[in-house]
Amino acid sequence: MAEHDDGLIVLTINGREVRAPKGTMLVDAAKAAGIEIPIFCYEPRLGAPIGACRMCLVEVEGMRGLQTACSTPVAPDMVVNTESEVAKDAQDGVLELLLANHPLDCPVCDKGGECPLQDRTFRFGPGRTRSLEPKLHFPKPLDLSPLVALDRERCIACFRCVRFSQEVAEDGQLTFQERGDHTEIATFSGDPYEGRFTGNTIDLCPVGALTSNPYRFVSRPWDIKNTPSVCAGCSMGCNLEITEREGEVKRLTGRPEPNMAVEEGWICDRGRWGYPALRSADRLQAPVLADAVGRRNVPLERAVTEASGLLGARGARVGILLGDAVTVETGFLAGELADRVGGGTPAMVARTGIPGHGLGPIRALPGAQMDDIDGADVVLVVGGDPCTQQPVAELRIRKARRAGAHVAVIGPRPTALDASCEALRTTPGHLLDAAAVINERLQGSQRAVVLWDEADLAAEPAAAEAIARVVAATPGARAVEMCADVSGAGLRALGIPAAGDLLGALEAGDIDILLTIGTDPTTGPAGDRWAAAADRAGTIIEMATHRTGLTDRAALVLPMLAPLEDEGVLVSMTGRAQRLRPGAREAAGAAAAWELIVGITHRIGNPVPDRTPAQAFRRLAEQHAAFAGLDYRAIGREGAVIAAVPQDPGSPAREPVGDGLLIVPCAPVFGDAVAHRSDALEAVREPSRAALAPAEAERLGVRTDARVRVTTPEGTAVLPLEIDSRLHEGAVYLMVGDPSSGAARLLPEDRGPVRAVVSAAAREEVGA
Amino acid sequence: MPQVNSVYRHREFGAPLTTLADYERAGGYLGLKDALALTPDDALYAFHRSGLRGRGGAGFPMGRKASFLPKDTGRPTYIVCNADESEPGTFKDREIIERNPFQLIEGLTIAAHAVECERAYIYIRGEYEAQAKVLDAALAEARGAGRLGPDALGEGRPFDITLYRGAGAYICGEETALLESLEGKRGQPRLKPPFPAVAGLYGCPTLINNVETLAALPPIMHRGPDWYGSMGPEKSPGTKIFSVSGHVLRPGNYEVVLGETTLRELIFTMAGGLRPGRHVKAVWPGGSSVPVIGEGSLDVPLDYESLNGVGTFLGSGGCIVMDDSECIVRACHRLAQFYRHESCGKCTPCREGTGWLARILGRMVAGEGRGAEDIRMLESLFGRISGRTLCALADGAVMPVQSALELFPEEFAHVAEHGSPAPAPMMGEPVG
Amino acid sequence: MTAHEIEEYLAPMRHEFADPRSLILPALKFAQGESGWLPAEDMAAVAEATGFSQAYVESVATFYDRLYIEPVGRRVINVCVTLSCMLRGSDEIFDHLTDYLGLDGEGTTEDGMFTLAKVQCIGACDRAPCLQIDSGEQIGPLEPADATCLVDDLREQPAPARYER
Ligand SMILES: Cc1cc2nc3c(=O)[nH]c(=O)nc-3n(C[C@H](O)[C@H](O)[C@H](O)COP(=O)(O)O)c2cc1C
Ligand code: SF4
Ligand code: SF4
Ligand code: SF4
Ligand code: FES
Ligand code: FES
């Protein structure tokens, strides 16, 4: 009985009966049965097998010669031998040939100790090659980019990096040159390999040919510890693995067992190389207390006691502002703290971020996970720019296009997808016009996925409503909200409101103590207002990873752990709750925000019952419908999707504030604070700038090499100008990069639509 | 020892047939006329019936391959003519293209009718630029005369041919590498299945045949498949062109009826034999990729089965003859260098193994051999390369050398210890 | 060579290929016709004209022997050294040419006139030992003296209007 009732195909591998679904390749069928067949080139995430390395040769009864197990699908009654003498000899033979020109310099190779080739050589092979011929030499190791190093002599020409570049990232940059045993990895004329995903080639490389420059010679595999966690770089929530040594994060990689429903093992370079920010010069290392005695470092215990004294004071009116990347446990515990401060006067708790009034209907659409995009027939990107704001989403969208989906990118910004997909550029502020096109594209679709941008549609609620209607009317269509904030979805699910009211209360003098947790409101939207408002509060308590605009004014500074050091749950933009696991603790005097809060409640004398994030999570799941039924176990390593929370109904269109050109805000992750703090990302980080269409620039009398003054009701910033013919006239595209540039501060607190007056910067400003 | 100029119609005619008028005068395009009188399926059946086998090297029955093409897929069907002719010792297609280009065009048109194809490609090696120009002119003339174009197959059925030039890569003669190259990629073979018949050029059903195979069709259609099938052995009938080169006095192309000529006749009667006093030492009868045979096998009839019987292949028909003035190891080294140079590098055993073979043989020739150790290493390498690669190039690299080692063990052993003797000076003993 | 010139060259044949990728090889050969090799700018122009990445175009170019990404002489003398030619003295032809051209093996003469190259079977083993100037007619059988005469003749000739390598 070859085909089982369960639709599985039954075959025999090494004398064992094995079942596998139709279409499974022998390697995978064997692996599922605990039989390992060596591979090098096989990597299903890169597309159909190519059968190049020949490492996986096995014997199949009745088939002539040896078969590559990576490209031979299971068949009923197949009898496979992966360990017969012939198969073994073939595998040893291929290994020996691979080593014929390989330098075998494992002791000095960054891959040494975690190298599949080395591993294979020890476990399967003769351990060496019998070749006594001189090895071929290639040009010496070089930097493929500031981030990726290439040693051509170690390359075994497995095609993985090339296929990633050509067929996954589709950046077209990494290729093979020459042929035969001269084949080598190269870029065009030796140009640097540039892109947002280049580091994935390092993870893919089965040898030490491609290595991470920032990781060069940093550690050896035997003294490191790897921990699976999640990237807090953007709302994609990519799974990754943290490599720790001597208490420091030394490296981030894609997870060896990818989360296929999220990132598929890919991470972007911002996510990968952001970790040096953990030890940037402005990292807060020790608590600071500022009181009548003066400003000084104090032990953490003391700082927590001081905080509880301030916060617990009877009648203190407290406002708690949560940053955009705090865990849901921290958000939940902040709420618990709010009930315990002021001697009974509950605190206001708010999150930085978009209020989202009017997004009710579109948020009510059935949600999709990232892997649903794989099977979609139509993929629409509405507003935003996933390529820069949620980078790894771009890879899924490309994959869907390759699989035959119609992909349209609809919105005011040019994107990296434009060249290969349908690009429908809308007039800034007129996404409403897109509803008709979206309707058209969805006609006849059965499995459409619509990715919509939170910030853009929050700015145009009428468009959000119209698009929601169109999508809701399409059978099988599902939506993904491209959240502007890393933890936005999670904090919203806890019912934590955006910070407009808190800011108002501060400005009205209704708050005595402002507690910030993981945020620097002074560099974000309405930064000037926040700075002034914070001053009005009189007392500022700050929990932060790095120095902020408030640090010097704060009465108390509590250094806090960054996401890579912390544990807890982040909710991704698809509503997937995923666990952070601490990779290291880099700041000696720091503690996790949740720990600090727990400590403060204890000192106040009204302790929360939780001692760990897991306990906090259990309680928050009991109290918040979105998390009902979840616990850490359920979340596991794949994450668990939280339930949708009912939203307020749509609200009428909003008018931009201010005069002049409408701002189209762009917030690339490569421009965020971490990117600017990480020295590894120096060459690829995005600076702030104002971008204009050529005609607009001409009208304003500004030139490319100029800097411009950009003024909104929130303030003024002087920014470098970029002229880009792909942009719309009548708008200024505000690229939010370096936090110190003031670009983000130009936006209103709720990130709503705003206009700006743009003019050439005065001479004295140019040097700025 | 019958020589029949069926594909080499120009030899029958006595002059190159490079104009359409001459070609038609020589009986050209009668085959197409007869083919068009048949339904496509009947034409396909005629291919079958003729017993014609592929002349590019593998010898796969042509009609059978054509019948593998799925019909009514809603996608175009393509024909690709393999004019890459890069197998060392092979230059038979060159003469067809240079002197009888219309017969190839007619053959392609006949095939197009049978498999219902509107566009064919001729992939010609880059080194045949002179020949490509002849073909360009012939294609233009055929187009001008309506033999190609909107009504080439009659009844408004269009057919045209695109000439595509390679740029120097032996591997592009391998059919899937050819397709990759034609698709604008690096010419590296594809994993099979799927076979080109099902998913070939641009993923569409594609018939790939050698120049000689396609040029055989016009006489088959005109004189009938039974006429063709009656020539030579039942299993592999028809005519085949042998390109004879090396140490013979009259190197050149000879079209013979399969099975009715022996290798000895080909070498001694047709190709003029060797220099006085010389013996045949080694012959690669089917291009450089086939096992070598020695003097003892000279009486083998030239057909697929008989050559298999003496441990070699008919291959492309590129018959390389070496006399006793040359060292077998030096010859093998030269071949090994060829395969090393031409390995596409996609798969490990070939990429690394061909270079390794070449290095060992090079050392042996240079007198830096390690005696029996090198011989053992060679033997082990043969086993570690052949049968384990993605395409047949590597097998082709191993077979000529492996067979030579088996045929000349003492000479190999000697060279492994003492190196090759200096090559005989060419001037001292001119060949041909 | 500009992308525009290449596009014009490709325009009439575009319809013959279902995928524009197929245009890369003809475009490279055409571009090479101008300077006899493919400087990075020319490969970039091919990339632009065909719509594929520069790295991809270069990767294709380097796969093929007869596309040159390094400068070569005005004429490339391709001496076949594969078995049939070797058996008939190709090494002597080659050595004779190196001496005559003042080269040390394969390479380009100092005056940039000639590149001497060993190549694999050029499909003219009936003319062995043979050579090919660029991708011209296969010439043979040669005696060493013929080969040097050929070089002398070539020296007299002006540079070709278009290089066909
Ligand atoms: C390495 C290699 C090189 C080849 N070169 C050629 C060639 O130059 N010309 C050719 O017609 N077939 C060549 N072939 C055979 C082709 O793959 C294919 O079998 C042939 O074109 C089919 O045509 P046919 O059936 O008419 O022979 C080669 C095969 C291999 C493995
Ligand atoms: S560099 Fe690494 S990934 Fe790329 S082909 Fe070489 S071995 Fe494979
Ligand atoms: S896409 Fe976002 S979550 Fe994923 S690695 Fe990049 S920054 Fe991190
Ligand atoms: S056998 Fe050689 S030519 Fe064929 S695919 Fe492998 S490396 Fe390329
Ligand atoms: S893993 Fe199967 S051929 Fe490479
Ligand atoms: S071996 Fe020189 S042309 Fe064939």
* CATH number reported for the structural domain that contains residue B89 in this entry: 3.40.50.11540
**Contacts with B, A 22-51, CB within 8 Å:** 49-51
- Give, in degrees to the nearest 5, the angle at Cα B86 between B82 and B92: 75
Point out the domain boundary residue: B323, B343, B375.
B323
| Paired tokens of B56 | 């590019």
- Total domains in the fold of chain B: 3
Q: Which of A233, A237, A325 is nearest to A635 (CA)?
A: A237
Chain A nearest C-alpha distance from C66 (Å)? 12
* pLDDT tens-digit readout, A256-286: 999 999 999 999 999 999 999 999 999 999 9
C79 with C132, same domain: the answer is yes
Query: Nearest Cβ partner of C29 from B160, B167, B204?
Result: B167
Q: How far apart are CA A295 and CA A292, in angstroms?
A: 8
B36 domain residue, yes or no: yes
Burial profile A401-420: b = 16 or more Cβ within 10 angstroms, e = fewer: beeebbbbbbbbbbbbbeee
- Residue B208 CA to ligand 1 centre (angstroms): 9
Q: What is the spatial distance between Cα A95 and Cα A131, in angstroms, rounded to a whole number?
A: 12
In whole angstroms, how far apart are CA A506 and each of A318, A514, A533, A538?
Answer: 10, 8, 5, 10
Ligand 6 centroid – CA B89 distance (Å): 6
CA dihedral over A101, A105, A109, A115, signed as positive or negative: positive
Given a cut of 70, whether residue A25 has pLDDT beyond it is yes
Enumerate the residues of chain C whose CB falls inside 8 A of the CB of residue B251: 84, 125-128
Give residue B427's pLDDT: 42
Residue A37 Cβ inside 6 Å of ligand 5? The answer reads: no
Token pair in block for residue A139? 């040009």
Residue A337 shares a structural domain with residue A261: no
Boundaries of domain holding B274: 239-323
Closest ligand, as measured to the CA of A50:
5
Q: Is residue A704 predicted with pLDDT exceeding 90?
A: no
Structural domain range at position C16: 3-63
Residues C132 and C103 in one domain: yes
Provide the pLDDT confidence category of residue A741 given band limits of 50, 70 and 90. Answer: very high
Asked if B187 and B47 sit in the same domain, the reply is: yes
How close is the Cα of A374 to the center of ligand 3, in Å? 19
A707 sits in which H/E element = strand A707-712
CA gap A230, A567 in Å, rounded: 10
Is A499 found in the same domain as A414? no
Give yes or no: residues B315 and B340 share one domain. no
Residues A48 and A91 occupy one common structural domain = yes
- The alpha carbons of chain B give a radius of gyration, in whole angstroms, of 22
Residue B109 shares a structural domain with residue B148: yes
> Tell me, what amino acid is at B301?
P
Residue-wise over A281-296: b if at least 16 C-beta within 10 A, else e?
eebbebbbbbeeeeee
Ligand 6 centroid–CA B423 distance in Å is: 18
Give the pLDDT mean for A531-556. 96
Quick one: C143 and C95 in the same domain?
yes
- Residue A124 pLDDT: 61
When pLDDT is cut at 50, 70 and 90, the band that residue A128 belongs to is low
Three-state DSSP at B252 gives strand
pLDDT of residue A217 exceeding 90, the answer is: no
Amino acid at B394: A
Q: Is A188 on the interface with C (CB under 8 A)?
A: yes
Q: Which atom of ligand 5 is nearest to the CA of A68?
A: 2
Q: Do residues A160 and A270 share a domain?
A: yes
> Which of C37, C63, C89 corresponds to the end of one domain?
C63
Judge whether B257 lies within some domain.
Answer: yes
Residues of B in contact with A131 (CB under 8 A): 356
> How far apart, in Å, do the first and last CA atoms of chain B sit?
23
- pLDDT at position A121 over 60: yes
- Which among B341, B360, B388 is the nearest to A94, CB-wise? B388
- Closest CA in chain A for residue B346: A52
Q: What is the CATH number of the domain that holds A80?
A: 3.10.20.740
My answer on whether B343 and B225 are in the same domain is no
Structure-token pair, residue B318? 């590129």
A450, A527: one domain? no
The whole-chain average pLDDT of chain B stands at: 96
Whose CA is closest to A333, among A680, A623, A759? A623
Co-location of A547 and A413 in the same domain: no
Determine the distance in angstroms separating the CA of A173 from the nearest CA of chain B, rounded to an integer.
15
Q: Are residues A270 and A181 in the same domain?
A: yes
Closest ligand to B396 CA?
1
* Chains in contact with A, counting 3 or more C-beta pairs less than 8 Å apart as contact: B, C
Cα separation, A306 vs A604, whole angstroms: 10
Q: What is the pLDDT of residue B180?
A: 98
Cβ(A277)–Cβ(A325) under 8 Å? no
Disruptive mutation site among A166, A178, A183, A189 for chain C (greatest number of C CBs within 10 Å): A189
Of chain B, the percentage scoring pLDDT greater than 90 comes to 96
- Top residue of A138, A152, A163, A177 to mutate, by most chain C CBs within 10 Å, is A177
Question: Of A178, A179, A187, which has the smallest distance from its Cβ to C55's Cβ?
Answer: A187
CATH label of the domain that carries residue B399: 1.20.1440.230
Q: Do B77 and B158 reside in the same domain of the chain?
A: yes
The secondary structure of chain B in percent helix, strand, coil, rounded to multiples of 5, reads: 45, 15, 40
Residue C30 is assigned to a structural domain of this protein: yes
**What's C120's domain CATH number?**
3.40.30.10
Tell me: do B21 and B127 sit in the same domain.
Answer: yes
On whether the CB atoms of residues A665 and A734 are closer than 8 A, the answer is yes
Residues A269 and A336 in one domain: no
Who wins on pLDDT, A343 or B199? B199
- Residues C149 and C88 both lie in one domain: yes
| CB B288 near ligand 1, within 6 Å | no
Contact C120 B338 (CB under 8 A): yes
Task: Establish whether residue B187 lines the binding site of ligand 4, counting it when its CB lies within 6 angstroms of any ligand atom.
Answer: no
Residue C80: per-residue pLDDT: 98
Q: Does residue C135 share a domain with residue C100?
A: yes
What burial letters (b/e) apply to A600-620, b meaning 16+ CB within 10 Å?
A: bbebbebebebeebbebbbbb
Q: Predicted ipTM?
A: 0.98
Q: For position A125, what pLDDT does the model report?
A: 56
Task: Find the farthest-apart pair of alpha carbons in chain A and give their distance in angstroms, rounded.
Answer: 88
For residue C161, the distance in angstroms to the closest alpha carbon of chain B comes to 16
Total structural domains within chain C: 2
Residue A268 resides in a domain = yes
Say whether both B269 and B304 belong to one domain.
yes
Residue B60 lies in a domain: yes
Where in the sequence is the domain holding A499, given as residue range(s)? 288-354+490-641
pLDDT tens for residues B219-263?
Answer: 999 999 999 999 999 988 999 999 999 999 999 999 999 999 999
Task: For residue A366, tell me if it sits in a domain.
Answer: no
Taking CB atoms and an 8 Å limit, are C40 and A177 in contact across chains?
no
How high is the pLDDT of residue B426? 58
Residue range A396-405: average pLDDT?
A: 98
Strand partners, A58: A67
Q: Are residues B315 and B332 in the same domain?
A: no
C40-64 burial string, b = 16+ CB within 10 Å, else e?
Answer: eebbbbbbbbbebbbbbbbbbbbbb
Which site among B86, B334, B340 would you substitute to test the C interface, given the most C Cβ atoms closer than 10 Å to its Cβ? B334
Q: Taking CA atoms, what residue in B is nearest to A94?
A: B349
Whole-number pLDDT of residue A136: 84
* Three-state secondary structure string covering C79-96: EECCHHHHHCCHHHHHHH
Q: Which residue has the tokens 């743009």?
A: A758
- Judged by CB atoms closer than 8 Å, whether chains meet at A172 and C55 is answered as yes
Asked if the model's pLDDT at residue A764 lies above 70, the reply is: no
Q: Is C69 on the interface with B (CB under 8 A)?
A: no
Does residue C68 lie within any of the structural domains? no
Q: Check which CATH number belongs to the domain holding A205 and give it.
A: 3.30.70.20
Q: Are B23 and B159 contained in the same domain?
A: yes
Are B121 and B197 found together in one domain? yes
CA-CA distance, A715 to B273, in Å (whole number)? 97
Closest ligand (CA of B89): 6
Last residue of a domain, one of C63, C88, C114: C63
Within a domain: residue A651? Answer: no
Q: Is A52 in the pocket of ligand 5 (CB under 6 A)?
A: yes
The tally of domains found in chain A comes to: 5
Identify whether residues A141 and A261 lie together within a single domain.
Answer: yes
Q: If DSSP states are collapsed to H, E and C, what string results for A268-301? A: CHHHHCCHHHHHCCCECCCCEEEECCEEEECCHH
Same domain, B111 and B193: yes
Q: How far apart are CA B38 and CA B214, in angstroms?
A: 18
Write the pLDDT tens digit of every residue in B290-301: 999 999 999 999
User: What is the CATH number for B274?
Assistant: 3.10.20.600
Domain assignment present for A367: no
Of A178, A179, A188, the CB nearest to C55: A188
Whole-number mean pLDDT of chain A?
Answer: 94
Residues A77 and A187 in one domain: no
Q: What are the pLDDT digits (tens) for A496-527? A: 999 999 999 999 999 999 999 999 999 999 99
Distance from CA of A61 to the nearest CA of C (A): 37
C130 shares its domain with C57:
no
Q: Whose CA is nearest to atom 7 of ligand 3?
A: A233
- Which of B323, B353, B379 delimits the end of a domain? B323
pLDDT tens digits for A723-736?
999 999 999 999 99
For chain C, 165 residues long, give each residue's pLDDT as a single digit of tens: 999 999 999 999 999 999 999 999 999 999 999 999 999 999 999 999 999 999 999 999 999 999 999 999 999 999 999 999 999 999 999 999 999 999 999 999 999 999 999 999 999 999 999 999 999 999 999 999 999 999 999 999 999 999 999
pLDDT category of residue A139 using cuts at 50, 70 and 90: confident
Residue C106: what pLDDT?
98
pLDDT above 90 coverage of chain A, percent? 88
Report the separation in Å between the CA atom of A206 and the middle of ligand 5, taken as the mean of its atom positions: 12
Which of B323, B352, B387 is the last residue in one of the domains?
B323
Same domain, A742 and A616: no
The answer to whether residues A146 and A265 belong to one domain is yes
- Statement to judge: residues B65 and B170 lie in one domain: yes
The pLDDT value recorded for residue B428 is 45
